[in-house]
Amino acid sequence: VIGILIGRPRSENWNKVQAGASRAMARAAEEYKCPPGTDSHRRGDYPLGIVGVSYGGGHKASASFSLLAVSFHNGPVLNTLLENSNIKRIAGFTNRAFSLTAPRLHAYYRSTMDRLCQRYKTLCVPFDKRVWACTCFNFGPQVHTNIHTDHLNKASGWCAITALGNFDSERGGHLVLWDLGLVIEFPAGTTIMIPSALLRHSNLPVRDGETRYSVVQWSAGGLFHWIDFGFHSVKSFEASCGKRATGSIHRAHWKVGMSLLPKLRDFRVPAA
């Protein structure tokens, strides 16, 4: 199983949670000061704010970072979102859904973050006791993504995408998985988990007068490599231990990653 349509919890007040999170995103979008030239990027034409821990893409070591939100002003804007009770509830739901649907993969993410935070005490993870290292707030107000892959994400892992806003999900906002030939209705307040580094994906625009935001949680593949290579870069490890040892770890890394994905049989209910 390479992805899950998580949906939403059965809680009667989830509509209020979704609406509250959407209002928080709308307020943040008004306060957020997007640096010039950064509101148009390969994923689409909308401002976004990223917080969390990453490795790769030019980073020399694991570091807490806030891409596109490095100003004194934007930091508090994103921190307010992270502390919003509705956003935190959504983060808690996605974390629990991940642990339920892919327990082995979730445990691997959990172990990776634990080892990372034990070694680097000052790292700032977006949500306490959650397993994804990064969170992206896509402000919209009409988030419409281009066809893309998130190549820095863990290839055999999942990222969680949660749709927010006020739009007719039968007429717009659908998630398109191009490699699988799927167009998936994606209502506000629901979550979908996919291997975003592997599958080309995008979403359809919503109608005029509607709003759509999204919250995306993921972990960079470089974090897992950094730990698997003994808290060294691949280049540094290869210089010390040679190409053969490096290649062996690379092969094991992919094999382990694939073995952690859930199987269809994991979702079958035993006969009474």
Instruction: Tell me if 190 is assigned to some domain.
Output: yes
Segment 23-57, tens digit of pLDDT = 999 999 988 887 666 666 677 777 788 888 877 65
For the chain, how many structural domains are there in total? 1
Q: How far is the C-alpha of 262 from the C-alpha of 272, rounded, in Å?
A: 23
Residue appearing with tokens 């699988």: 180
Among 2-16, 66-80, 127-141, which range has the highest average pLDDT? Answer: 2-16
* Category of 231 on φ-ψ map: left (φ > 0), alpha (ψ -120 to 50) or beta: left
Instruction: Tell me if 25 is assigned to some domain.
Output: yes
From 76-80, 92-96, 225-229, the region with the lowest mean pLDDT: 225-229
Q: What is the pLDDT of residue 71?
A: 47
Across residues 156-167, what is the average pLDDT?
Answer: 96
DSSP code at position 271: P
Structure-block tokens of residue 210:
């509607």
| 68 — pLDDT class (breaks 50, 70, 90) | very low
> Which residue range forms the structural domain that includes residue 19?
4-266
Q: What are phi and psi of 207, to 5 degrees?
A: -80, 160
Averaged confidence pLDDT in the chain: 85
Reported as type and span, the H/E element at residue 37 is none
Helix 221-228 with 103-119: angle, nearest 10 deg: 70
Q: How far is the C-alpha of 178 from the C-alpha of 200, rounded, in Å?
A: 6
Instruction: Tell me if 272 is assigned to some domain.
Output: no
Q: What is this structure's pTM?
A: 0.89
Segment 255-266, tens digit of pLDDT = 888 899 999 888
Q: What is the pLDDT of residue 9?
A: 93
Instruction: Tell me if 44 is assigned to some domain.
Output: yes
| 69 — pLDDT class (breaks 50, 70, 90) | very low
| Percent of the chain whose predicted confidence (pLDDT) is above 70 | 88
Instruction: Tell me if 135 is assigned to some domain.
Output: yes
Residues 6+ apart with CB under 8 A from 252: none
CATH code (residue 230): 3.60.130
Instruction: Tell me if 271 is assigned to some domain.
Output: no
